[in-house]
Structure 1
């Protein structure tokens, strides 16, 4: 099975810069949505802030892994592309699980 597929994705892009851009874009959107939830009483201030931070991190990871995957696809490496996508998915999942654990810890501390 050949693992080289050449698709012109343009010039390779800077992954780190796109992680930052993705985090900022996701953070701006998440902050707006969570602020609205907070104002409506659908979320506490801490929930809104924590969710915004979580989504910012996940947006940065998603953007960075997508750019890395596109760069690898442009170079003809399907295996590296799939690796970049997998690493991104694992990163997003890790942030989700960490966020859940921190939320549970906060609930336990509030009950004390």
Structure 2
């Protein structure tokens, strides 16, 4: 590590930290969403959905952060570090887009169900 620009210590296991990030995110978001559901601010279904989303994003963020730090600790690893950070950002953004798309699809399905039910009641 003597050649490193930034001493980040020994390289860490990215996969292990992805698991740790997922567990930490699940604990945090699960607790917050449990409280919201208990207070009837959100439904149980919404609580589970948000917890899964935040758990996925936490896993991605933690893995990307560890990979970025590992690359920063390598000589000439700056562009690899930028790439790792960018991949993490893209992954988190992709989860947001997927969530939005699924939300619209579910809303559309519910709207269609309501139209069908209204039509059959006439």
Q: Which runs of 5+ in 2 are unaligned?
A: 114-122
Q: Which runs of 5+ in 1 are unaligned?
A: none
Paired position in structure 2 for 1:90? 90
TM-score, scaled to structure 2: 0.84
Equivalent residues, number = 109
Q: How do 1:1-112 and structure 2 match up within 5 A? A: 6-76=5-75, 77-111=77-111, 112=113
Separation of aligned partners in 2, 1:43 and 1:110: 18
Moved more, 86-95 or 37-46: 37-46
Deviation of 1:5 (Å): 6.4
8 Å CA contact retained: 1:5, 1:78: no
Deviation of 1:101 (Å): 1.3
Name the larger-Rg structure.
2
Deviations 1:41-81 (A, max 9, x none): 11111111100000000000000000000000001311000
